[in-house]
Structure 1
Amino acid sequence: MSPLTKRLKVIIISDGTGETATAMSRAIMTQFPERDVYFTRYKNVRDKDQIIAIFDEAAIHHDLVIYTVVTSELRDFIGEQARLKHVRALDLIGPALTAFANYFEQEPKAQPGLLHAVNDEYYKRVEAMEFTLNHDDGRNLNSLHLADVILVGVSRTSKTPLSVYLCQHGLKVVNIPLIQGQILPEELHQVDQRKIFALTIDPEALMGIRRNRLTRLGAESHNGDYADHAKVIEEIEWANTLFSENKRWPVFNVTDKALEETAADIMKLINMRKNNIFKQQRREQQED
């Protein structure tokens, strides 16, 4: 068989998922399109016996070993096995860790799986953002129960921008506009009421925001009740009465408050509730 037609194997060893080594290897292989190569990946390798078995196999077929291992002891052992059994091996992460450690004058954590944890957090934020955008302005209420946060308030109380800000922290957010004279969605009564956060605003501030919006839209002469002084006051009073009737909904006044400030207050309350639940569970376990 010609060397170019021989099918070769690349073995990937990782103390994590091995995705980094796989991605780099495939990127490199684009430069060798004529070679027929297949990959075998060994994930979560933390034991020397595992490494010995892998190199015993690699030595038989003269495979190439690529590894991303963060613990120096295990990396050194892999290097020893490669030399002992005459197997080509490439350390993808060791030299980089050494260079960064020297630059920072600090030893690395050498803790496997950290990148995977970062990726999980990233995908969680992406999922939260998709959910939030698909549930903007009261849409898709059939999946309201999947939300982490439900924002309710009259028009122009920062529901959408606040939703987008919160979802970047991994929270699935639904925002529902409150319209005077319309019955609240039935789904709102069926979910955990602790998920609902009410937004209110001072009437004068709301009128200013709505008038500015109408000016930008060129609709000053067709504003109707939207920015009418008396109607805005009536709408805010109606919403505040609704909030007082639903005592489990914490109310946040967004007047002259930065988006980040309101978001921080909401997240603080959410974390406080989680801590209380955790403490309660611990007490129950201790009692048992």
Structure 2
Amino acid sequence: MDRQPIYVVSGGSGETALRTVQAALTQFSKGEASALVRRFQNVRTQEDLDRVLESATEKRAVIVHTTVSRELRFYLADRCAELRLTQVDLFGNLLDTLALYLRERPEERPGSFHAVGDKYFRRIEAIEFALRFDDGADMTGLVDADIVLVGISRTSKTPLSMYLAMEGHKVMNVPLVPGVPLPPELDHIPQGRIVGLTIQADRLQEIRAYRLKRLGATGTADTYSDMGHILEELAYADGVFKHHRRWPVIDVTGRSIEETAGLVLDRVFGKERGI
């Protein structure tokens, strides 16, 4: 016996309805495997709907839709009743309820939710990217990175990466360590993506000493916050930045993560941001 298909119908991409149907199907032991799901995108006129309904009638399909136009929703409901087709309106009741609550008519713009969904999924992807490529653990991400942060330890590379990732930017950070060669891959990506981070020595010493205290570290770990060692690291970083003059360098001393993030975006995307 032929399986009864599910028609996902939308005035936009249909991603919202499709994901909702897929999520619902996971609640059935044979749902995902046995269901036949077809997506119909950009269905925005009665003529578009009639073409879908003609096929749905032949296949006896169940119609699940996110039609935002009130006129089309009523038309679809009436036609499905005439054709004895089952239809599930995912948005209708919600839109009507919100319209009463907000005392405002919905704009009925197909595809607007998809834009919000895209932004959300870009943010999730960027966060996963930042976690995977944190602290130079894996240099294969360089080619896909929107922004690359370079600096010595405790110059806010990781928190800055995560903040920028929350804005949807793929960020990786690379530590500068005296005596450790700079990854050669850095020279093979667009240099405008790379930003150097520096900090004043006394502030860095405070940050490192506090971190050691929190970790309960003693003995040789004190070198980490030793001023002589810090000055050596900063001098090394300064030499790297002078060698790579195309990298803008930002002093993070006394700056919040939000402020530094804004400066990074200005340096990397300044022209695109009209700066």
TM-score, length of structure 1 as denominator length: 0.81
**What letter is aligned with 2:8?**
I
Report what 2:185 is aligned to.
187
Could you tell me how far apart the structure 1 residues matched to 2:128 and 2:47 are? 44
Q: In structure 1, list runs of 5 or more residues that go unmatched.
A: 278-288
CA RMSD after TM alignment: 2.9
SS in 1 for 2:197: strand
CA distance in 1, matches of 2:250, 2:156: 11
Residue in structure 1 matching 2:122, options 109, 124, 146? 124
Q: What's the counterpart of residue 169 of structure 1? A: 167
**2: CA distance between counterparts of 1:177 and 1:9?**
54
Find the counterpart in structure 1 of residue 199 from structure 2: 201
Which runs of 5 or more structure 2 residues have no equivalent in the other structure?
none
Structure-2 separation of matches of 1:123 and 1:14: 20
1:18 is aligned to 14
> What is the alpha-carbon distance in structure 1 between the residues aligned to residue 225 and residue 143 of structure 2?
33
Corresponding residue SS for 1:226: helix
The 3 A distance-change label for structure 1 pair 21 and 173 is closer
Q: Aligned residue pairs: how many?
A: 272
Map 1:222-237 onto structure 2 (within 5 A): 222-223=220-221, 225-237=223-235
Please identify, of 228-237 and 16-25, the stretch whose mean Cα deviation from structure 2 is larger.
16-25
Q: Is the 8 A contact 2:9 2:65 kept in 1?
A: yes
Q: Deviation of residue 103 (structure 1)?
A: 0.8
**Who is 1:244 aligned against?**
242
User: Larger radius of gyration, structure 1 or 2?
Assistant: 1
Taking a change above 3 Å as real, the CA distance of residues 109 and 174 of structure 1, as seen in their structure-2 partners, is: same
Aligned mates of 2:164, 2:261 — CA distance in 1? 6
* Separation of aligned partners in 1, 2:259 and 2:196: 15
Separation of aligned partners in 1, 2:172 and 2:94: 43
Say which SS state the counterpart of residue 223 (structure 1) adopts.
Answer: helix
Q: Note the C-alpha offset of 1:118.
A: 2.1
User: Are the structure 2 counterparts of residues 73 and 176 from structure 1 closer, same or farther at C-alpha, using a change threshold of 3 Å?
Assistant: same
CA distance in 2, matches of 1:188, 1:33: 49
Q: Are the counterparts in 1 of residues 130 and 162 from structure 2 also a CA contact under 8 Å? A: yes
What is the identity percentage for the equivalent residue pairs of Structure 1 and Structure 2?
37
- For the 8 Å contact 1:13–1:65, the answer to whether it is kept is yes
Letter in 1 for 2:259: E
Alpha-carbon shift at residue 149 of structure 1 (Å): 0.9
Aligned-pair distance for 1:135? 1.5
1:6 Cα deviation after fit: 8.7
Residues 60 and 130 from structure 1, CA distance in 2 versus in 1: closer, same or farther, beyond 3 angstroms?
closer
Select 2:76's aligned residue among 75, 78, 81.
Answer: 78
User: Relative to 1, partners in 2 of residues 1:200 and 1:78: Cα closer, same or farther, differing over 3 Å?
Assistant: same
Give the counterpart letter for 1:14 in structure 2: S
Name segments (4+ residues, structure 1) moved above 6 Å.
31-34
Q: Deviations over 1:51-79 (max 9, x none)?
A: 22333344456554332201123223223
Specify which of 89, 92, 104 is matched with residue 91 of structure 1.
89
Return the alpha-carbon distance in structure 2 between the equivalents of residues 52 and 103 of structure 1. Answer: 33
Q: What SS does the corresponding residue of 2:223 show, helix, strand or coil?
A: coil
Q: Does the 8 A contact of 1:211 with 1:220 survive in 2?
A: no
- 1:1-288 aligned at under 5 Å gives the runs 7-25=3-21, 27=24, 30=27, 38-59=36-57, 63-223=61-221, 225-275=223-273
Cα distance in 2 for residues equivalent to 1:226 and 1:29: 52
Q: 1:67 to 1:186 in 2, by over 3 A?
A: closer
Identify if the C-alpha distance between structure 1 residues 275 and 37 changes in structure 2 by more than 3 Å, giving closer, same or farther.
closer
Going from structure 1 to structure 2, the CA distance change for 1:135 and 1:110 (only over 3 Å counts) comes to: same
Q: Residue 8 and residue 254 in structure 1: after superposition, are their counterparts in 2 closer, same or farther (change >3 A)?
A: same
- Specify the code of the residue in structure 2 equivalent to 1:196: I
Q: Cα–Cα, structure 1 residues 32 and 185, in superposed 2: closer, same or farther, change >3 Å?
A: closer
